[in-house]
Amino acid sequence: MLAFILRRLAQSIVVMLVVALISFMLFRYVGDPIANLVGQESRISDIEELRQRLGLNDPFYVQFARFIANAVQGEFGISYRLQQPVTELIVSRLPATIELAFASAMIALVFGVVLGVFTALRPKTFATGVIMTLSLVGVSLPTFLIGIGLIYIFAVELQWLPSFGRGQVTDLGWWRTGLLSESGRRSLILPAITLSLFQLTLIMRLVRAEMLEVLRQDYIRFARARGLSKRAINFGHALKNTMVPVITITGLQLGSVIAFSIVTETVFQWPGVGSLFINSVQVVDVPVMAAYLMFIAFVFVVINLIVDILYYAVDPRLRVHGIGAGK
Amino acid sequence: MSAQETTSTIAAVAPPRSFLRRVWDSDVFYSFRRSPVTILAALVTLLLVGASVFAPWIAPYDPFNPASLNLMDGFTPPMSSSMSGNYFLFGSDHQGRDVLSTILYGSRVSLFVGVSATLFAIVLGVSLGLAAGYRGGVTDSVIMRIADIQLSFPAILIALLIFGIARGIIPPSRHESMAVWVLIVAIGLANWAQFARTVRGATMVERQKDYVSAARIMGVHPLRILVRHILPNVLGPVLVIGTIGLALAIIEEATLSFLGVGVPPTQPSLGTLIRIGQGFLFSGEWWILFFPAVTLVLLALAVNLLGDWLRDALNPRLR
């Protein structure tokens, strides 16, 4: 167990180092960092001195080591566009993205499981056909069109919900939440639905497939023979056994939710990390791009690591075949 | 006379079938004929591709020629004439551009970027996959580790990042002229890993087979073995992933353009048109957004359905 975890940990660190290298190259070689710090009237000797003082003349590996040391301490320099420390920017916008991602993951999980169970238990009904067809169309629709469609229906035509922003926010220390106010909660609904739809269809199809598989097993037939209630069979026996892969996939998809939030945040002008990233790509704000890259990679690596370890703990077969026999 | 001889005589007597006849009778085409959804998808794809290729001849107006624009035509609703007497089937936008014409030219850009990016991804992914599968060892692990890492991130994120890097490297004065190419490279680089992984698996199976050993013993150059012998045998799945990948690439391009980091406004794609149209959603000019969006969805859906059909038709296990 320990060896397995250590091995996975080592792999994760290698991935992070590779991403850090890309991030560093981005930071160092895309555009001249000096050109963004000095004005046009600076003398060449001043520029050279600044270059020396910032250590930009040091060998490559020294600079890279310094970059990593800074990154570990959460130090990514200053945004060219907003003239603020990058870490501060990301931290101040993180709560918005996390609340959005969390709300949409909840929607996806709840509705995905419910619809998946429903379509698996009643495979031949009209409603199932409608749900399955809709889910196919939903997968083919680009996220931003779904968002625009929802805005058109619920904000323009019906005028039930706001179409942009976070509504009124409350400060809880450094965490700025929109969940405590009426307008904040109302603002969350449309973006969360938009972001959740893709995961929702994924989870629904997965639950449906797993349920259909499990319902054919002998122990279900035996449970029926014992005269257990339908409810106990379907939910106590069948659903329980489909939940392991569902939880794994949901966990792995959490990273995609954060990435797709770039699109959703742009459509709904949600002030999160994703819209910060898009704005910095537009004006080539390299420090923000580099930091966002490191941040996303870190989230992905941590989630993958946790899921792997959980899997190892849940599935005893992995232990029998020895370490790393998962593939 | 045995049964075998009888059949061979009949085969010899029967007139040689024409090429078209053989295509019509083939397994793949049979499954095509049997699926009305696929025929519809193929028709829609053909129609949209044809319309975009021949856009300069079909389009009722030339929307990007400032001389032909008339601001008096602005915001004409669909199926009506403007004050200056011009008729607009799909309406006109704020600058008086015909929405139908911008869609025709826009799907041209979308399809060009989508097809080029997919081709780029296929060429890159297939070559790296062949190399990894055939060479094995360090080559294999390096290429596949990179593919693994890349596949764990969403393609749209990688495309965004590559786009950002390219923007930093290319001088600002050339951003507009290079944008389409940067977009193609970014989307292509974001999607190569799928192809590499599939081809690598198939190559590892093929290289164990006798015909490869025979070619190797004959002293055929490895490159020639890869291209002439192995490549044709691994192309089936590539075709399937390529079709579905095309739909993905079109959506990715539209997403990037919608986010404002895609093609320049002087050369709008469907995504750019949707971005423009979104601004008029609240003021009631729905057609500026609606028609490009429908076109994009139809295009992506049709190509996706074709890909699904191809996957089923080429996969003997499902029949």
The pLDDT of residue A37 is 64
B153 or A197, greater pLDDT: A197
Read off the pLDDT band of B318 (50, 70, 90): very low
Q: Quick one: tokens of B136? A: 């094995």
Q: Which of A30, A259, A297 sits opposite B154 (nearest CB)?
A: A259
**Is the CATH number 3.40.50.300 carried by domain A90-318?**
no
- Chain A interface with B: residues with Cβ < 8 Å: 15, 18, 26, 30-31, 137, 140-145, 148, 151-152, 156, 163, 255-256, 259-260, 262-263, 266-267, 277-278, 280-282, 284, 286, 289, 293, 296-297, 300, 304
Region A306-324: mean pLDDT is 65
CA dihedral A270, A272, A273, A275 (to 10 degrees): 20
* Cβ pair B292, B310 in contact under 8 A: no
**Nearest chain A CA: its distance from B169 CA (Å):** 6
Which pLDDT does position B16 carry in this prediction?
A: 63
Q: Does residue B279 fall inside a structural domain? A: yes
A226: closest CA of chain B, how far (Å): 37
Chain A nearest-CA distance from B189, in A, is: 15
Kindly state whether residue B75 falls inside one of the protein's structural domains.
no
Q: Indicate yes or no: CB of B255 within 8 angstroms of CB of A278.
A: no
Least Cα separation, residue B126 to chain A (angstroms): 22
Chain A residue closest in CA terms to B281: A152
Q: How distant is the Cα of B227 from the closest Cα of chain A, in angstroms?
A: 29
List of chain A residues whose C-beta atoms are within 8 Å of the C-beta of residue B297 = 140-142, 145
Angle formed by the axes of helices B270-278 and B231-259, nearest 10°: 20
Residue B102 confidence (pLDDT): 85
Q: What is the mean pLDDT of residues B21-26?
A: 74
Name the percent of chain B lying above pLDDT 90: 11
B21: in domain: no
Query: Which of A67-76, B137-146, B265-274 shows the lowest mean pLDDT across its residues?
Result: A67-76
**Residue boundaries of the structural domains of chain A:** 2-72, 90-318
Kindly state the average pLDDT of the residues B225-248. Answer: 88
Query: What single string gives the DSSP state of each residue in B103-161?
Result: HHHHHHHHHHHHHHHHHHHHHHHHHHHHHHHHH-HHHHHHHHHHHHHHHTS-HHHHHHH
What does the pLDDT look like over B81-92, one tens digit per residue?
766 667 777 777
Most confident by average pLDDT, A161-175, B87-101, B183-197, B297-311: B183-197
Residue B80 belongs to a domain: no
Chain A residue at shortest CA distance from B278: A148
Of A152, A278, A284, the CB nearest to B167: A284
Higher pLDDT, A237 or A16: A16
Beta bridge partners of A85: A78
Lowest mean pLDDT among A198-202, A233-237, B128-132: A233-237
Q: Decide if B156 and A296 are in contact by the 8 Å CB cutoff.
A: no
B contacts of A302 (beta carbons < 8 Å) = none
* For chain B, percent of residues with pLDDT exceeding 70: 86
Which residues of B are less than 8 Å from A264 in CB distance?
Answer: none
Confidence class for position B117, pLDDT limits 50, 70, 90 = very high
Q: How confident is the model at residue A31 (pLDDT cuts 50, 70, 90)?
A: low
CATH number of the domain to which B275 belongs: 1.10.3720.10
Q: Which residues pair with A170 in a beta bridge?
A: A177
**What does the pLDDT average to over A277-305?**
83
What is the pLDDT averaged over residues A176-197? Answer: 82
N-to-C CA span, chain B: 35
Query: What pLDDT is attached to residue B111?
Result: 92
Q: What's the confidence (pLDDT) of residue A325?
A: 41
Q: Please list the residues that pair with B80 across neighbouring strands.
A: B88
How many domains are contained in chain B?
1
Q: pLDDT grade, residue B2 (50/70/90)?
A: very low
Is the Cβ pair B261, A278 closer than 8 Å?
yes
- Residue A217: per-residue pLDDT: 84
- Position A24 confidence tier, pLDDT thresholds 50, 70, 90: confident
Look at B304 and A140 and tell me if their CB atoms are within 8 Å. Answer: yes
Q: B115, B142, B161: which is closest to A25 by C-alpha?
A: B161
What average pLDDT does range B55-63 have in this prediction? 76
- Yes or no, beta carbons of A31 and B281 under 8 Å apart: no
pLDDT at A318: 60
Question: What pLDDT was estimated at residue B130?
Answer: 92
Structural domain span for residue B290: 36-58+92-318
Of residues B168, B247, B251, nearest to A286 (C-beta): B168
Examine residue B292 and state whether it is found in any structural domain, yes or no: yes
CB nearest A148 (choices: B153, B164, B289): B289
The one-character DSSP state at B264 is: -
Residue tagged 């040091």 (tokens): A58
Per-residue pLDDT band for B120 (boundaries 50, 70, 90) equals very high
Whether A80 shows a pLDDT value over 50: the answer reads yes
- Is the model's pLDDT at B245 over the cut of 60? yes
Q: Which residues of B touch A297 (CB under 8 A)?
A: 153
Residues of A in contact with B253 (CB under 8 A): none
pLDDT band for position A317 (cuts 50, 70, 90): low
Q: Residue B255: which of A144, A256, A277 has the nearest Cβ?
A: A144
Average pLDDT of chain A, as a whole number:
80
Residue B31: inside a domain: no
Indicate the residue of B152, B167, B247 with minimum beta-carbon distance to A300: B152
Q: What percent of chain A has pLDDT over 90?
A: 0
- Residue A86: the pLDDT is 84
Task: For residue B314, give the nearest of B306, B40, B122, B250 by alpha carbon.
Answer: B306
Mean pLDDT for chain B?
81
Provide mean pLDDT across the span B151-177: 79
What pTM was computed for the model? 0.80
Looking at the predicted structure, is the pLDDT value of residue A326 above 50?
no
**Structure confidence at residue B319 (pLDDT):** 43
* Residue B314 within any structural domain of the chain: yes
pLDDT at A314 over 70: no
| CB spacing of B161 vs A289 below 8 angstroms | yes
The DSSP bridge partners found for residue B81 are B87
CA distance B33 to chain A (A): 22
Alpha helices, H only, chain A: 2-29, 44-53, 60-72, 86-121, 126-140, 143-150, 182-215, 218-225, 230-231, 240-267, 273-282, 286-314, 317-320
Question: Exposed, middle or buried by CB within 10 Å (0-12, 13-18, 19+), for A313?
Answer: exposed
Most confidently modeled range among A84-88, A242-246, B96-100: A84-88
Q: How far is residue B113 CA from its own chain's centroid? A: 8
Mean pLDDT of A279-300: 83
Name chain B contacts of A152, Cβ cutoff 8 Å. 281, 286
B213 pLDDT above the threshold of 80: yes
**Can you tell me the mean pLDDT for A263-270?**
87
* B93 burial level (CB within 10 Å; 0-12, 13-18, 19+): buried
- List the single range of A93-102, A168-177, B173-182 with lowest mean pLDDT: A168-177
Give B230's Cβ-side CA count (13 Å radius).
Answer: 34
Contact B164 A151 (CB under 8 A): no
